[in-house]
Structure 1
């Protein structure tokens, strides 16, 4: 019997624990799923973890073979000095599908200019058709599992897609760039810019006054990645100057976004309340089960975090 500790949010334990139990049973795993305090820490073999949960000190879990995250982001735990066990982040079908659908919907909204029609209640017959997808350049920053899936969807829709990542990648149908020079080249062609980057020291403030100025004038920014990526003051200035025509933001440096934040009142900003890529228990639990199966079989874990890179 394998002992796994549920160390996610206490408020959602009644949802997660049954989903995990079902996934373990379906995978044929004999797992004793416990809560903090049910067993001594040294009896725990796997920690099912979320930063919103009760575990902050991993040192007592001396026999834990892995910390299996329920969140895609690991920035709140990857630097924890007590964390010596392998750390795996969550990448699952539901989370990926949610991101793809959000990106596809928001890109099409910007591409088709739907904001011109939504909420209009006065006669205005302007029969101007938008360009077709092959005439629109869309750039995706970040080509991890979620970014690559978004690129694939946008390519399927027919857009001219460029992807950028720190290290070289290849995705069929898209132009892939990397490194500092590649970033500047990508931004220069981004009529619609989608950012799906992790939260690392290298990505903090990546979109600032200098880099926003590289965008084609009137570009649209969609950020379902991480809030730290954007210099908020620089983006607001770019919006006011018309350099950026519109921004739809799903993530922020402080969440929930404070009521006094200028984004709430800016006419060219849409606030989306961090819903682009929500972890779904039914599908995510299967990933946890598979990683426990792998751990017990001596196989490599899925989605293991590279501590040096921070994701």
Structure 2
């Protein structure tokens, strides 16, 4: 069996070394040096060129380097073979840390303190205790649950919304359209960690922003397709929202001149909230490859109808 690696944003040699430690003898090729395409039975990829996977006649397994798989599902030529998404402890810890960082940044007024430092002004600012700040999380999957638990450990009140009812200790859970309508008016800082599906695309829009309390903050670390960009800019300009942290965008890289770059109430990071590090994630790849070889059920296999 031969595994083909394809990612413009990951170090192929780092992955080659980590895979070799766990799967000695597995042939590891790096696109575009495919060799005989008929040799390829598995592909480890992140945003491969459209049609590339369809050019592999004996492909039997696709492994995503990311937790989100919509870039793959959007390829109309995607082969009808099992697709496994990345769910590793490293990704989960990274995301929980990013979410906590953004919540603390806005709650503890770090932007205001940066301005005071620049002006050489010693001026303590008052802030509410964490237990009086409500954080709402959209999506209570692996990443959302870990983020909720981290925030609870910091004494924040945490609400969580999901498509179907879920239970997380210490988190007030909501589900469905009625649940979302009930959660939003209570939410000071809203975190989006949802998978991108036809039902969630464009969810972060003017109607949702209007349902939040005045001065709320929106953090999107899920997918750029969740956000209606013009609606966010309008909500910030009107003062409906106080600020926003964005790690994901409809088009990546974010183009020069995009209004997000220079907006005083938006903080941009380049899709780095949760990084797939080879040393932390190769175990999951090896587990999936071994299950595939043995004909066992695959860990974290994607339900293509649901999109995750």
**Is TM-score (shorter-chain normalized) higher than 0.5?**
yes
1:106 partnered with 2:124: no
In structure 1, what is the Cα distance between the partners aligned to 2:298 and 2:47?
20
In structure 2, what is the Cα distance between the partners aligned to 1:145 and 1:108?
21
Task: Give the TM-score of the pair, scaled to structure 2.
Answer: 0.91
Match of 1:154, SS?
Answer: helix
Give yes or no for contact 2:135–2:190 (8 Å, CA) kept in 1.
yes
Select between 45-54 and 197-206 the one with higher mean Cα deviation. 45-54
- How far 1:82 moved relative to its partner? 3.9
**Aligned pairs for 1:256-295 within 5 A:** 256-295=253-292
- How far 1:257 moved relative to its partner? 1.3
1:32 partnered with 2:32: no
**Cα distance change on mapping 1:118 and 1:178 into 2, 3 Å:** same
Match of 1:270, SS?
Answer: strand
Give yes or no for contact 1:207–1:231 (8 Å, CA) kept in 2.
yes
In structure 1, what is the Cα distance between the partners aligned to 2:214 and 2:130?
19
Match of 2:11, SS?
Answer: helix
1:44 partnered with 2:43: no
Paired positions, count: 305
Task: Give per-residue Cα distances to partners, 1:9-33, cap 9 Å, x unaligned.
Answer: 39732232222222324xxxx4222
Task: Give the TM-score of the pair, scaled to structure 1.
Answer: 0.90
Q: Give the root-mean-square deviation of aligned CA atoms.
A: 2.1
In structure 1, what is the Cα distance between the partners aligned to 2:34 and 2:263?
50
- How far 1:124 moved relative to its partner? 4.8
**Aligned pairs for 1:46-85 within 5 A:** 46-52=42-48, 56-58=52-54, 60-62=56-58, 64-79=59-74, 80-85=76-81
Match of 2:54, SS?
Answer: coil
Higher relative contact order (CA 8 A, sep 6+): 1
In structure 2, what is the Cα distance between the partners aligned to 1:218 and 1:82?
43
In structure 2, what is the Cα distance between the partners aligned to 1:152 and 1:47?
34
Corresponding residue for residue 206 of structure 1: 203
1:195 partnered with 2:174: no
Match of 1:20, SS?
Answer: helix
Select between 197-206 and 31-40 the one with higher mean Cα deviation. 31-40
In structure 2, what is the Cα distance between the partners aligned to 1:268 and 1:35?
41
In structure 2, what is the Cα distance between the partners aligned to 1:99 and 1:11?
18
Structure 1 residue runs of 4+, over 4 Å off? 36-39, 123-128
1:91 partnered with 2:90: no
